[in-house]
Structures are given as structure tokens and as C-alpha cells.
């Protein structure tokens, strides 16, 4: 009886959804993602990189290293010759620093928005346009309360648009909002700022000799909140490990201040 | 030698119909003259059958129902002729621009490329129909025989070599290009066809009509030989349309633009070229105020119509009229003309079409055509100056970059770095690990702040209603420049680790977008003697 009812319901659903959904009761095969390098060895070894054809969220409070990850990823992608796009929701990207970090500015399409509405529309256009290796949407300067109001179907639409394409969609926010649409959610937090140690500055009061001190960078912690990306699929030629047994615990990495890159 | 002649019957009428498709198949009469003395100067066979006669006044012509009356438009004739030339050049580089409605092509040696002369003629007819004209084509062994056959016979005619006299014998004397006086004389003699003229003894004809008579005799017999006068290759592509009623809305304007672009693209295709840039020029209707002003000041000459000009430059040459129309629409939506449009002129800078062959290992990049469309759409959303790629300026001043148009330039070898790494690995060299750079977020514009100094170093900071204690400081890093210009800059930069203590009003939970505990870059501007928060490290 139950089987007959199930069959009847199934055929009814299939009839109603004909032309829109080809096989509503067939599970899709688990997606195998191609990954791209972030340029940060610790993250790449742990995760393999960011998945293409999927949505990745990088979240964290202000000053937690989100921009460092973004700049590093852009540098890595543009160095490979890929064309990337950055949707800057509050026009806060620093091209000079990006250039110092190795981002090929000629390969980066920078869309300087003024609000989240513009940013989401620009993202839509870029994904539909296609051909970008990475589309990064920087919503970190938008108040989390505002980003929470973005309808879930927007994230679903983005996910569907990048699916089966070589584009990696990177969302930078203070909180993860895309829910199940994100294939990878990475949360960052600053552990400490690193200052240069000098003979004069080696005192208890860190403000005493400001002229003898430089900001060296930050120590940043990264934690995988959610991941549908299987552990590293390919052998990573750069780091010499396949990372299959890499753990997903909190990874820490150091960033360097831009002055340390100048010769 | 084999020559093909292209003849466009009722060329003036066809030039008008070409830009107004709704006139296809209808009787059309063209007026010319200075108002109010308008006279019919051209009409197509349908209009003539309806009773229209050349020389009629406008009032007489408008009485015929079913006949569309238009003004003769010389610019449209010019563009139609240019289109015809482009078609001719697409088949043969040896071309004579005989008349505005007549071209002669040298087909010698084209058999290997196109096949038989019939095929060439068919190809020509197809190309001409693509640019909106109906043609008559004749192929013959000499230039004049081809011209006369094209003028006399409809469709495609091939005159066999040695059969020129027989083929042309039934054509009327009117097909010959000669003075009206001579035609009248021949008419008085009862000579009505080329066959009759060719049958006259040439000596007696010479005695009565002189050398012109001998020339006409040779023309009628199809034996007149002359060399081709080659036309110079033109690279100008322009289409224009003058509207009877001004257009204000985008939709009807798009329709007109689409048609012009179709014609331009067909012309470019005929020459194996593509669009590099489009120059748009609209002549606008004078506004009401200026019209009143012009009327008041009678001594002043009629004010010239206002113009709207725009240039659409494409990063790579394109020949897709639909895509070009979309780009034009987006341009016009973002910057619409101020008044209704009276005349549209589109001029195209041409270039060699893009070669789309990419290497197997070329990194992915957006399709240039699609990218251009995406950029135009993005510009519509965020503004023209807000989309592109940044280019660093040669200065150490603040905001040391400018925006430039984005083009996905081809990469010689995108995998170069990876290859270098592999090579380095193979050779056993140590690979330098990439070092992530500390990110920095710029506050645009910089936020004013108050800073309390103690012993020449910042101790406390107030901004956006918050008060923070400086935990660590680095600076001041002094820089200045551009003192010879108005935008002189002279500033002290500080990197401050700040911990904010109190929140007054502006930092409710879920609303703050800057760190309550982080490292900020603060600047002291000597010119304005003020403190500003430039941004923070992230």
C-alpha cells in the first residue's frame, strides 16, 4: 500500500515538475571540485585551496586577516595569468598594497561599489559574464546586520551560476551568511600583531619609542567551519605534500607588512 | 578579359527604401527642390504604374493613394553607394566606380576562388541584397557591353564572348550614355534599339554625327574597348538616417540603430573587417526655449541644431551587430541625449577581426565581446569611473593610483610561474615560499579624528564617537610632495594599535565595520593641521 502510494506520489511530482527538473528523485553525484591556491601555504596544505565552481565564504571580525587572504589569493591567481574580479562593496581596496603583494593589477577587474545593492548586482553581472578565474565579493565593510538581510535565494542564485564553471566565488564577510550555499566556510581571527623588536624599543611601554618600531605583520588563525571540499585531491607540487591526511584544526599563519617586500 | 557590371535601378529610391524597410514593395516617389517648389525627381516602377510622373509638384504627387512621398536624401545615397563599393571590393580588388548606381568589376582570375562567372554574379547579388539593395548584374567580355546589359536586362545576365551584338540588339537606345540631342536625332531617324544603331554604316554615321557617332556605333555593337579606371580603396564606413519625426524614446531609437548597425556590419563583413570604435552623432531637435529665442531675434540666423556625440571604443574588434546594439543602448541609458533626435549618424573605425585561436594552456579569461558588455553593464550600475583596473601613479602621495579601462590582455604563457617552479624543483633549487602580505583597508574618504599627544606620541584617539587608548605606536613616517601644485601633501603617518574603551551611539552590535581592537593607520596633515584615520590593517 505504502509502496503504491509512494510510486503514485513520485509520478505525480515528476509530472508536475516536467520540463523544469529532469530527474527530481535522482541524487546528483558528489561534486568533485578543482581547487585553486590561496598563496598561503598553511591554508593550501590544510584545504588544498579554494574550490572552483563553488561559493567560498571567508569571515571574521575586522582586523582578522580577511584582506590578507584576499590579496594573497588574488596575487596567486593573477600570477598564474588568470583574470580575476573584485567587487568592493565599500571601495576600500588598496591597489598599492595589492601591487606590492604581487597582484597583477592589469589582470584584476576592480568594481568600486558604494553599497551592498550595487555589489550584489555587480556580482550577478560578473558571474553571468563568465570567464573569470576568481570573483571576490568584499562585503566586510558592510555591517553584518545589513548582510543578514540579503535573501537566501541570492546566495543560491550565485551558487547555481558558478556551478560547473571554472570560476571560484569568494565571499568576504564578517559573518557567514550563505548557509548551505557555501561549499567552504573559513573563519579567521587575529591572534596578535607583530612589531619589530629594536634595541630602543625593547621596553615595557610599547608606545615609548614609536620611531624605532615597525609593524611587522600579524599572526592569524584560520578555522574551517564547513567544507564540502574533500581533502586535497591533487598532489600539490608547490608544497610537496598531497595533504590527504592534513588535519582541519585551527591553522595559524603569519602575514608580513608591505614594507618588508620592498627590496 | 571578363567584366561584371553591377547596376542598381532607381538608385535614389532604393537608397531611401534601404533605410526604411516599411517602404519595401510600395510605390515611392522622391521630391527635390527648394520649398515650396517641390518636384518629383525619382519614382520606382510601382509609383510610375500608379500614375506618378517625373516633374510633378508635391501637391499633385500626394493625390496618388498608395504612393509614399519622400524627400531625396543625398547622404543616404552616399552611404548606399559606399555600401555598394564595399560589396564590390569584397569580390574583386579591381573595381571601377563608373557611376553612383553602376560599378564594374574585373573578374579575371577569380574562377579558382569563386568558380564560374555565374557563381560570382550570384554571390554579388546575395551580398548586395544583404546591404539592402536590389541589383542587376551582367557579365561580358568588355566593360561597355557589361554596363549596357546590366542597365537593360533584369536579374543576372551573362553575355557570351563574341555574342555581344546579338545579345544587346534588342535593348533601347536609352541605355547608352550620351547627350539627349543625339538621342533625339536617332529617334528622328527611327533608330530605337542598339541593334538598329549597330546596323547603320559607320562611315555615314561618322559623317553625320562625328566621332561620337562612331563611338555610339561601337557601343551598340558591343565592340567598344577601354581600360578599367580603378577606384581607390576607401576605409570609411558611415551610415546615417534623417528622421521625419524626431525620436525621443530608447526603444524606437534602438530599432533604428539596430538597422544601421546591421548595414554597417554587413559592409564590414564584405571587406573582412570588424568594428574597432563607433562614433555616434545625433542631431538634436532645438529645445523650446532656444526656438522662442530664435524667433524673437529675427536678425539672428537660424541656430544650428544641437549635437550629441559619443565614441564607443572596443578593446577588440567586433562584428556582431546585436552585441554592438546592446553596448550602444547601455551607453545611451547611462548618458541620454537631452532632446529628441532628428538625425542619426554612425561612423565606424574598422580593424582586422580578432583571431580567436587560443593555446591549450592559455589561462581562462573572459570572452572579449562578452567582457565589453559586462563592463558596460557594470558601468551602468556603479558609474563609468568606478569600473576598470587600477594603475599606480608615479608618486608616494595618498591615493596614488588612477583607474583605466579593463582589458583581458592575452597572456603569453600563463603557466610560466608553475613551469618555473617545476623546473626549480627538478634542478633541486630551493623554492621561495610565498609570504602573505598584511592587508590594508582604506577608508575613503579618510575619517577625521582627534588625537591626544603625550611626549610627542599619540596617547588617546577619538573618532566616530569612540575613544580608544593607543597600545602600541609606530611613527611618525613623514612624507610630502607636489608642493608645486595645488594638491600639495605633507603628512605624518602613524601605525597605532588602538583599543577602544567606550562606545557612544555609533557602534551598536552588528553595525560596526571597523575593529574595536586593531591596528590603524592615522595621518596628521600639516596643511589642514588635522588628524585623519586612513584605514586599518586586516
> Are the C-beta atoms of residues B125 and B137 closer than 8 Å to each other?
yes
B476 touches chain A (CB under 8 A): yes
Q: Which residues of B touch A97 (CB under 8 A)?
A: 437, 439-440
Q: Assign A6 to helix, strand or coil.
A: helix
Q: Which of B434, B438, B512 sits opposite A217 (nearest CB)?
A: B438
Greater confidence (B427 vs A141) lies with A141
- Sequence-separated (6 or more) residues with CB below 8 Å from residue A144: A173, A174, A175, B510, B511
- For the cut 60, the answer to whether the pLDDT of residue B36 exceeds it is yes
Q: Which residues of A touch B474 (CB under 8 A)?
A: 195, 210, 213-215
Strand partners, A187: A59, A223
Tens of pLDDT along A69-81? 999 999 999 988 8
Flag if B438 and A126 touch (Cβ within 8 Å): no
**Closest CA relative to residue A135, chosen from A161, A117, A115:** A161
Cα–Cα distance, A237 to B421 (Å, whole number): 8
Flag if A95 and B390 touch (Cβ within 8 Å): yes
Please give the pLDDT value at position B231. 85
User: Scanning the structure block, which residue is given the C-alpha cell 621596553?
Assistant: A203
Cα–Cα distance, A235 to A31 (Å, whole number): 19
**Closest CA relative to residue B464, chosen from B446, B437, B490:** B446
**Closest CA relative to residue B477, chosen from B451, B495, B489:** B495
User: Distance from first CA to last CA of chain A, Å, rounded?
Assistant: 78
Cα–Cα distance, A173 to A147 (Å, whole number): 8
Number of A/B CB contacts below 8 angstroms equals 249
- Sequence-separated (6 or more) residues with CB below 8 Å from residue B144: B219, B222, B224, B226
A45 touches chain B (CB under 8 A): no
> Are the C-beta atoms of residues A184 and A222 closer than 8 Å to each other?
no
Decide the pairing of beta strands B102-106 and B95-99.
Answer: antiparallel
Greater confidence (B533 vs A208) lies with B533
Flag if B475 and A113 touch (Cβ within 8 Å): no
Residue B297 exposure: Cα atoms within 13 Å on the Cβ side = 9
| Largest CA-CA distance found in chain A, in angstroms, rounded | 86
Please give the pLDDT value at position A242. 44
CATH topology classification for B3-221: Alpha-Beta Plaits (3.30.70)
CA distance A87 to chain B (A): 10
**What is chain A's alpha carbon radius of gyration, rounded to the nearest angstrom?**
22
Greater confidence (B466 vs A171) lies with A171
CATH topology classification for B235-287+305-353+367-385: Dna Ligase; domain 1 (3.30.1490)
Flag if A140 and B417 touch (Cβ within 8 Å): no
Tens of pLDDT along B151-180? 999 999 998 888 888 888 889 888 888 888
Q: Which DSSP letter does residue A71 get? A: H
Strand partners, B257: none
Instruction: Read off the pLDDT band of B63 (50, 70, 90).
Output: confident
Cα–Cα distance, A247 to B343 (Å, whole number): 70
Distances in Å between the Cα of B287 and the Cα atoms of A47, B247, B252, B336 are: 65, 14, 20, 15
Flag if B365 and A72 touch (Cβ within 8 Å): no
Tens of pLDDT along B491-521? 999 999 998 875 544 555 556 677 788 899 9
Domains of chain A with CATH codes = 31-261 (3.40.50.300)
Question: How confident is the model over A173-202, as a mean pLDDT?
Answer: 81
Phi and psi, residue B502, nearest 5°: -115, 150
| Cα angle B495, B499, B501; round to 5 | 145
User: Scanning the structure block, which residue is given the C-alpha cell 588612477?
Assistant: B402
Whole-number percent of chain B with pLDDT over 70 = 89
Instruction: Read off the pLDDT band of A88 (50, 70, 90).
Output: very high
Distances in Å between the Cα of A77 and the Cα atoms of A102, B364, B535 are: 10, 11, 26
Q: Which DSSP letter does residue B74 get? A: H
Distances in Å between the Cα of B381 and the Cα atoms of B107, B116, B334, B375 are: 53, 55, 9, 10
Whole-number percent of chain A with pLDDT over 70 = 82
Cα–Cα distance, B222 to A24 (Å, whole number): 77
Q: Which DSSP letter does residue A179 get? A: G
CB atoms inside a 10 Å sphere around CB B163? 14
The secondary structure of B122-181 as a DSSP string is HHHHHHHHHTT---EEEEESSHHHHHHHHHHSSSEEEPPTT-HHHHHTTSBGGGS---HH
Strand partners, A85: A109, A135
Flag if B408 and A131 touch (Cβ within 8 Å): yes
Q: Which DSSP letter does residue B196 get? A: H
Cα–Cα distance, A142 to A185 (Å, whole number): 18
Strand partners, B307: B283
Flag if A90 and B390 touch (Cβ within 8 Å): no
Tell me which chain B residue has its CA closest to the CA of residue A258.
B437
| Cα angle B278, B284, B290; round to 5 | 150
**Closest CA relative to residue A255, chosen from A162, A191, A206:** A191
**Closest CA relative to residue B2, chosen from B102, B146, B130, B115:** B146
Tell me which chain B residue has its CA closest to the CA of residue A143.
B511
A215, A240, A261: best to mutate for the B interface, most B CBs within 10 A: A215
Instruction: Read off the pLDDT band of B209 (50, 70, 90).
Output: confident
B379 touches chain A (CB under 8 A): no
For CATH 3.30.70.270, the residue range(s) in chain B are 3-221
Residues in chain A: 263
Instruction: Read off the pLDDT band of B411 (50, 70, 90).
Output: low
A70, A77, A95: best to mutate for the B interface, most B CBs within 10 A: A95
Please give the pLDDT value at position A15. 82
Cα–Cα distance, B54 to B333 (Å, whole number): 45
For CATH 3.30.1490.100, the residue range(s) in chain B are 235-287+305-353+367-385
A128 touches chain B (CB under 8 A): yes
Greater confidence (A236 vs B145) lies with B145
A79, A83, A174: best to mutate for the B interface, most B CBs within 10 A: A83
Cα–Cα distance, A99 to B390 (Å, whole number): 10
Flag if B538 and A174 touch (Cβ within 8 Å): no
Decide the pairing of beta strands A134-138 and A84-88.
Answer: parallel
Per the structure block, which three cell numbers stand in for A259?
614594507
- Sequence-separated (6 or more) residues with CB below 8 Å from residue B437: A68, A71, A72, A75, A97, A100, A101, A102, A255, A256, A257, A258, A261
Q: Assign B501 to helix, strand or coil.
A: strand
Tens of pLDDT along B349-367? 988 887 766 667 777 788 8
Interface of B with A in 484-513 (CB under 8 A): 494-495, 497, 510-513
* B419 φψ region: left (φ > 0), alpha (ψ -120 to 50), beta (else): alpha
Element (H, E) at B31: strand B27-32
Cα–Cα distance, B443 to B454 (Å, whole number): 26
Cα–Cα distance, A78 to A107 (Å, whole number): 6
A107 touches chain B (CB under 8 A): yes
pTM greater than the 0.80 cutoff: no
Cα–Cα distance, B43 to B25 (Å, whole number): 13
User: Scanning the structure block, which residue is given the C-alpha cell 571597523?
Assistant: B514
A208 touches chain B (CB under 8 A): yes
CA dihedral of residues B360, B361, B367, B368 (deg, nearest 10): -110
Distances in Å between the Cα of B312 and the Cα atoms of A18, B276, B279, B321, B390 are: 45, 9, 6, 14, 21
Flag if B443 and A79 touch (Cβ within 8 Å): no
CA distance B68 to chain A (A): 45
User: Scanning the structure block, which residue is given the C-alpha cell 568533485?
Assistant: A32
Instruction: Read off the pLDDT band of A241 (50, 70, 90).
Output: very low
A227 touches chain B (CB under 8 A): no
Tens of pLDDT along B281-323? 998 887 655 555 555 555 454 444 588 898 888 878 888 899 8
Complex ipTM? 0.83
Element (H, E) at B45: helix B45-50
Flag if A94 and B425 touch (Cβ within 8 Å): no
Element (H, E) at B195: helix B194-199
Interface of A with B in 142-201 (CB under 8 A): 142-145, 148, 166, 174, 190, 193, 195
Please give the pLDDT value at position A138. 94
Cα–Cα distance, B533 to A7 (Å, whole number): 66
Element (H, E) at B86: helix B74-91
* A92 φψ region: left (φ > 0), alpha (ψ -120 to 50), beta (else): alpha
Phi and psi, residue B181, nearest 5°: -60, -45
For residue B445, is the peptide bond before it cis, meaning its omega torsion is within 30 degrees of 0? yes
Q: Which residues of A touch B316 (CB under 8 A)?
A: none
A237 touches chain B (CB under 8 A): yes
A88 touches chain B (CB under 8 A): no
Amino acid at each position: 500500500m505504502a509502496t503504491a502510494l509512494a510510486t503514485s506520489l513520485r509520478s505525480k511530482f515528476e509530472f508536475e515538475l516536467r520540463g523544469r527538473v529532469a530527474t527530481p528523485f535522482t541524487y546528483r553525484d558528489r561534486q568533485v571540485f578543482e581547487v585553486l591556491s590561496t598563496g598561503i601555504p598553511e591554508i593550501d596544505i590544510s584545504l588544498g585551496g579554494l574550490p572552483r565552481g563553488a561559493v567560498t565564504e571567508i569571515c571574521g571580525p575586522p582586523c582578522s586577516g580577511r584582506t590578507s587572504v584576499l590579496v594573497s589569493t588574488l596575487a596567486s591567481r593573477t600570477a598564474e595569468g588568470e583574470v580575476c574580479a573584485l567587487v568592493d562593496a565599500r571601495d576600500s581596496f588598496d591597489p598599492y598594497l595589492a601591487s606590492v603583494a604581487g597582484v597583477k593589477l592589469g589582470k584584476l577587474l576592480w568594481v568600486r561599489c558604494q553599497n551592498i545593492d550595487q555589489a550584489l548586482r555587480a556580482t550577478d553581472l560578473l558571474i553571468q559574464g563568465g570567464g573569470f578565474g576568481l570573483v571576490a565579493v568584499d562585503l566586510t565593510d558592510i555591517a553584518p546586520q545589513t548582510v543578514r538581510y540579503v535573501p537566501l535565494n541570492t546566495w543560491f542564485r550565485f551558487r547555481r551560476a558558478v556551478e560547473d564553471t571554472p570560476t571560484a566565488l569568494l565571499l568576504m564577510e564578517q559573518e557567514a551568511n550563505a548557509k548551505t550555499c557555501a561549499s567552504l566556510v573559513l573563519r579567521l581571527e587575529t591572534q596578535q600583531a607583530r612589531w619589530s623588536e629594536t634595541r630602543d624599543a625593547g621596553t615595557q611601554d610599547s608606545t615609548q619609542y614609536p620611531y624605532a618600531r615597525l609593524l611587522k605583520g600579524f599572526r592569524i588563525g584560520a578555522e574551517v567551519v564547513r567544507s564540502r571540499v574533500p581533502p586535497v585531491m591533487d598532489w600539490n607540487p608547490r608544497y610537496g605534500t598531497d595533504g590527504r591526511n592534513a588535519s582541519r584544526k585551527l591553522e595559524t599563519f603569519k602575514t608580513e607588512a608591505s614594507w618588508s617586500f620592498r627590496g | 578579359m571578363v567584366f561584371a557590371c553591377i547596376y542598381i535601378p532607381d538608385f535614389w529610391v532604393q537608397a531611401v527604401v534601404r533605410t526604411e524597410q516599411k517602404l519595401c514593395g510600395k510605390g515611392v516617389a522622391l521630391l527635390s527642390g527648394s520649398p515650396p517648389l517641390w518636384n518629383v525627381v525619382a519614382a520606382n516602377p510601382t509609383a510610375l504604374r500608379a500614375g506618378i510622373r517625373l516633374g510633378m509638384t508635391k501637391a499633385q504627387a500626394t493625390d496618388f493613394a498608395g504612393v509614399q512621398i519622400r524627400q531625396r536624401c543625398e547622404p543616404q545615397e552616399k552611404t548606399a553607394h559606399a555600401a555598394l563599393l564595399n560589396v564590390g571590393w569584397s569580390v574583386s580588388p579591381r573595381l571601377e566606380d563608373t557611376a553612383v548606381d553602376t560599378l564594374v568589376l574585373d573578374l579575371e582570375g577569380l574562377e579558382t576562388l569563386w568558380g564560374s562567372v555565374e557563381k560570382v554574379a550570384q554571390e554579388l547579388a546575395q551580398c548586395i541584397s544583404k546591404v539592402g539593395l536590389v541589383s542587376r548584374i551582367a557579365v561580358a567580355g568588355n566593360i561597355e557591353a557589361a554596363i549596357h546589359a546590366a542597365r537593360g536586362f533584369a536579374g543576372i545576365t551573362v553575355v557570351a564572348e563574341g555574342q555581344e551584338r546579338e545579345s544587346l540588339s534588342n535593348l533601347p537606345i536609352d541605355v547608352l550614355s550620351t547627350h539627349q540631342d543625339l538621342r533625339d536625332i536617332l529617334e528622328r531617324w527611327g533608330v530605337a534599339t542598339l541593334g538598329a544603331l549597330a546596323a547603320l554604316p559607320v562611315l555615314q554615321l561618322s559623317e553625320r554625327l562625328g566621332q561620337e557617332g562612331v563611338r555610339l556605333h561601337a557601343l551598340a555593337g558591343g565592340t567598344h574597348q577601354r581600360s578599367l579606371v580603378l577606384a581607390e580603396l576607401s576605409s570609411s564606413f558611415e551610415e546615417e538616417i534623417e528622421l521625419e519625426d524626431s525620436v525621443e524614446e530608447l526603444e524606437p531609437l534602438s530599432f533604428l540603430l539596430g538597422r544601421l548597425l546591421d548595414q554597417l556590419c554587413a559592409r564590414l563583413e564584405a571587406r573582412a573587417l570588424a568594428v574597432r570604435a563607433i562614433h555616434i552623432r545625433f542631431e538634436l531637435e532645438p529645445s523650446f526655449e532656444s526656438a522662442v529665442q530664435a524667433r524673437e531675434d529675427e536678425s539672428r540666423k537660424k541656430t544650428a541644431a544641437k549635437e550629441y556625440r559619443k565614441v564607443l571604443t572596443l578593446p577588440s574588434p567586433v562584428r556582431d551587430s546585436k552585441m554592438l546594439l546592446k553596448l550602444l543602448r547601455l551607453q545611451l541609458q547611462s548618458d541620454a541625449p537631452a532632446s529628441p533626435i532628428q538625425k542619426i549618424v554612425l561612423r565606424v573605425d574598422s580593424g582586422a577581426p580578432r583571431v580567436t585561436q587560443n593555446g591549450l594552456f592559455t589561462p581562462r579569461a573572459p570572452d572579449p565581446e562578452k567582457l565589453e558588455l559586462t563592463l558596460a553593464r557594470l558601468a551602468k550600475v556603479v558609474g563609468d569611473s568606478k569600473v576598470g583596473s587600477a594603475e599606480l601613479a608615479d608618486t608616494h602621495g595618498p591615493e596614488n593610483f588612477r583607474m583605466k579601462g579593463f582589458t583581458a590582455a592575452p597572456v603569453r604563457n600563463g603557466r610560466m610561474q608553475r613551469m618555473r617552479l617545476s623546473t626549480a624543483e627538478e634542478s633541486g633549487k630551493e623554492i621561495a615560499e610565498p609570504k602573505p602580505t598584511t592587508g590594508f583597508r582604506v577608508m575613503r574618504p579618510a575619517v577625521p579624528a582627534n588625537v591626544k599627544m603625550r611626549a610627542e606620541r599619540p596617547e588617546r584617539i577619538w573618532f566616530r564617537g569612540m575613544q580608544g587608548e593607543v597600545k602600541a605606536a609606530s611613527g611618525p613616517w613623514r612624507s610630502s610632495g607636489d608642493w608645486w601644485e595645488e594638491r600639495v601633501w605633507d603628512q605624518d603617518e602613524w601605525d597605532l594599535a588602538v583599543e577602544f574603551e567606550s562606545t557612544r551611539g555609533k557602534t551598536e552590535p552588528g553595525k560596526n565595520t571597523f575593529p574595536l581592537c586593531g591596528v590603524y593607520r592615522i595621518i596628521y596633515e600639516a596643511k589642514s593641521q588635522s588628524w585623519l584615520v586612513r584605514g586599518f590593517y586586516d
